[in-house]
Amino acid sequence: MADLPFHDKGDFVDADRGFVAKLSPAVIKTADGRVIWDNDSYDFLQGECPDSAHPSLWRQSQLCARQGLYEVAEGIYQVRGLDLSNMTLVEGERGVLVIDPLISTECAAAALKLYRAHRGDRPVTGVVYTHSHVDHFGGVRGVTDGDVPILAPAGFMDHAVAENVYAGPAMTRRAVYMYGFALPRAPEGQIGCGLGLTTSTGTVSLLPPTLDVTRTGQEETVDGIRMVFQLTPGAEAPAEMTFLFPDHRALCLAENATHNQHNVLTLRGATVRDARAWARYLDEALALFADRADVAFASHHWPTWGRDGIVRFLGQQRDLYAYLHDQTVRLLNKGLTGAEIAEVLHLPPELEQSWHARGYYGSLSHNAKAVYQRYLGWFDGNPAHLWEHPPRESALRYVDCLGGGSAVVAFARRYIDENDLRFAAQLLNHAVFADEGNKEARDLLAEVYTRLGHGAENAAWRNFYLMGALELSEGIVPASVETSSFDLLSVLSVEQIFDSLAIRVDGPRAWHERLSIDWHLSDLGERHRTTLSNGALIHQREPADESADLTLRLTKEQLVGLVAGKGVGGVEREGDTAALQRLVAVLDRPAPDFAIVTA
């Protein structure tokens, strides 16, 4: 770490280049006055790196904390630092094209206002979503009511919500840890998340695209602005694209290449991404666009200028994901497990010294485990790991073998003295899982997590450790109320709606239930059947007969309302109405505040 090139201020020069104006104060509120973004709360980052932060992460956070309107190229502007992501504005013949309108409508509106204050009151004449993650579309209603072309990669709507729909509550709970939402913003607390500072918490919206980009090489013109697209599904997101503005000689990299090592598997939980495909898309982007661009920008972090800089940046990012993938697979084929690969894998010196390859968001350690998981899954082949006791049961036995809770704490102190905080955390975790009331173990584990957090170069790791410490000391922090906006719910397909119902069936409670319901969706002209048997809710399209116990005639909006618990008002029913009540009676609810650092 001491060898990192701190003297190289190139990123600071690039992050400040083209600066036009700040938002001052950088505080954004909802209509009723709730603060949903406060960049000023991170002003402390401009000071010297304290002992409570890794210098490399501190540097990254200083860069992420810059906010305001920036000129990227003639006619291309970015608003950075007013949400997790960047909003890019490209000036056309009549108005301005907006790329990636942030997470919240309030932030997007503030970003557009800042732009207009300096570039004139141009109407929004088009929108582009680079990919299907919420920080790239959620604020869209803050910049337009629709009535403009909206471009997105093929499959955007399928993935915009679906990626988070089934495991959403667990992901939301884990995201509290990953982003450190409950931590104070302070040198000892939350100092960013590597990809940016944090996520805004305003109103999320979604307008469906009007034009799909379906192939690489596709060209489109909006408001006189020409764009040439490269489709990159399954890299950083299941639906994603990069594109060139040939007349501006500017390249938009979406989120496929940013100034950090990204996640092959995000720690809040997701399906594993394909590092191999990711590397190939970056190589393709290099071949397609590098000679035609003087600047490359992305929807996070700052741009890269000049052909040489772009070629170096994209080439190194490509090599990063290719190396990570290939070396992990090489080592797993020699019999190393994920945890073992994570210990021995090191980046080549050139990448090790490249700030943008460093693990501020993803990390070499957890990405290697993710590649292993993609190919081989959770089991490492060792029968000792096939049928282990779950954490609490294991903990009880370990603590018993080690001579009780106090003895475990004594052992842990020994490892702390030897600076083996990793093993101290393992020991103390057993002590806490065996006995939540062991205050000595709890306090010491909180201390160990805090030290691990303060030493972490990866922002997500830091946040996980510090959140763990916080919840050990203060108990579980209740999640802020999850308000799934109607925009988001209504874009689910009917099949996804029934799937999300099926995963709420409490299996054992439904073992002996048998019932079938036909759902006639009048507005869509579709018939669907759900059948409950053996605790499984099976969905079928266009059933062949009319044998269901109950038939409901309703609109999709009423179906969404019904699933959201708003009742059956206005729904036409025919047959055994008790069938619906019996189905509702076996539905379970997720537990949004489940324990993580205690049993």
- Interacting residue ranges for Zn ion, rule: CB under 5 A: 85, 133, 135, 255
Residue whose CB is less far from Zn ion, 199 or 450: 199
CB of 372 to Zn ion, least distance (A): 25
Residue 195's SS3 state is coil
Omega cis (within 30) before 25? yes
**Given CA atoms 177, 179, 181, 182 in this order, what sign does their dihedral have?**
positive
CB of 203 to Zn ion, least distance (A): 18
Q: How far apart are CA 61 and CA 4, in angstroms?
A: 16
Residue whose CB is less far from Zn ion, 135 or 240: 135
Residue 241: closest CA among 229, 259, 251, 258: 229
Residue whose CB is less far from Zn ion, 133 or 442: 133
Q: How far apart are CA 263 and CA 162, in angstroms?
A: 19
Residue whose CB is less far from Zn ion, 218 or 256: 256
Instruction: Please answer whether residues 83 and 107 qualify as being in contact, where contact means their C-beta atoms are separated by less than 8 angstroms.
Output: yes
Residue 520: closest CA among 498, 551, 481: 551
Helices in 5-126 by DSSP H: which ranges? 10-16, 55-64, 105-119
Q: In the complex, which residue's CB is closest to Zn ion?
A: 135
Helices in 130-274 by DSSP H: which ranges? 156-162, 168-179
Residue whose CB is less far from Zn ion, 59 or 262: 262
- Which residue type is seen at 89? L
CB of 118 to Zn ion, least distance (A): 25
CB of 236 to Zn ion, least distance (A): 8
Residue 235: closest CA among 165, 325, 147: 325
Residue 269: closest CA among 195, 368, 170, 187: 170
Residue whose CB is less far from Zn ion, 85 or 132: 85
Q: How far apart are CA 334 and CA 119, in angstroms?
A: 59
Q: Which residues lie across from 528 on neighbouring strands? A: 519, 541
Rg of the Cα trace of the chain? 26
Report the first-to-last Cα separation within the chain, whole angstroms: 36
CB of 131 to Zn ion, least distance (A): 8
- Which residue type is seen at 400? D
Q: Which residues lie across from 428 on neighbouring strands? A: none
Q: How far apart are CA 242 and CA 219, in angstroms?
A: 12
Enumerate helices (H) and strands (E) in the chain, giving the number of each: 20, 21
CB of 237 to Zn ion, least distance (A): 8
CB of 179 to Zn ion, least distance (A): 12
Residue whose CB is less far from Zn ion, 256 or 450: 256
Residue whose CB is less far from Zn ion, 313 or 372: 313
CB of 258 to Zn ion, least distance (A): 8
Q: Which residues lie across from 187 on neighbouring strands? A: none
Residue whose CB is less far from Zn ion, 133 or 529: 133
CB of 145 to Zn ion, least distance (A): 24
Residue whose CB is less far from Zn ion, 14 or 135: 135
Residue 365 tokens, joined? 């350690």
Q: How far apart are CA 345 and CA 348, in angstroms?
A: 10
Pairing of strands 515-521, 550-554: parallel
Instruction: Please answer whether residues 579 and 550 qualify as being in contact, where contact means their C-beta atoms are separated by less than 8 angstroms.
Output: yes
Instruction: Please answer whether residues 412 and 447 qualify as being in contact, where contact means their C-beta atoms are separated by less than 8 angstroms.
Output: no
CB of 300 to Zn ion, least distance (A): 6
CB of 485 to Zn ion, least distance (A): 18
Residue whose CB is less far from Zn ion, 237 or 320: 237
Within 216-319, strands assigned E span: 219-222, 225-231, 241-245, 250-252, 295-297, 304-305
CB of 255 to Zn ion, least distance (A): 5
Q: Rounded to 5 degrees, what are φ and ψ at 12? A: -65, -40
Instruction: Please answer whether residues 486 and 560 qualify as being in contact, where contact means their C-beta atoms are separated by less than 8 angstroms.
Output: yes
Residue whose CB is less far from Zn ion, 236 or 518: 236
Task: Identify the helix (H) or strand (E) that includes residue 29.
Answer: strand 27-29
Q: How far is CA 402 from CA 3, 427, 428, 433, 536, in A?
A: 41, 10, 12, 14, 44
CB of 102 to Zn ion, least distance (A): 10
CB of 544 to Zn ion, least distance (A): 45
Residue whose CB is less far from Zn ion, 105 or 327: 105
Residue whose CB is less far from Zn ion, 14 or 255: 255
Instruction: Please answer whether residues 227 and 221 qualify as being in contact, where contact means their C-beta atoms are separated by less than 8 angstroms.
Output: yes
CB of 100 to Zn ion, least distance (A): 8
Residue whose CB is less far from Zn ion, 135 or 549: 135
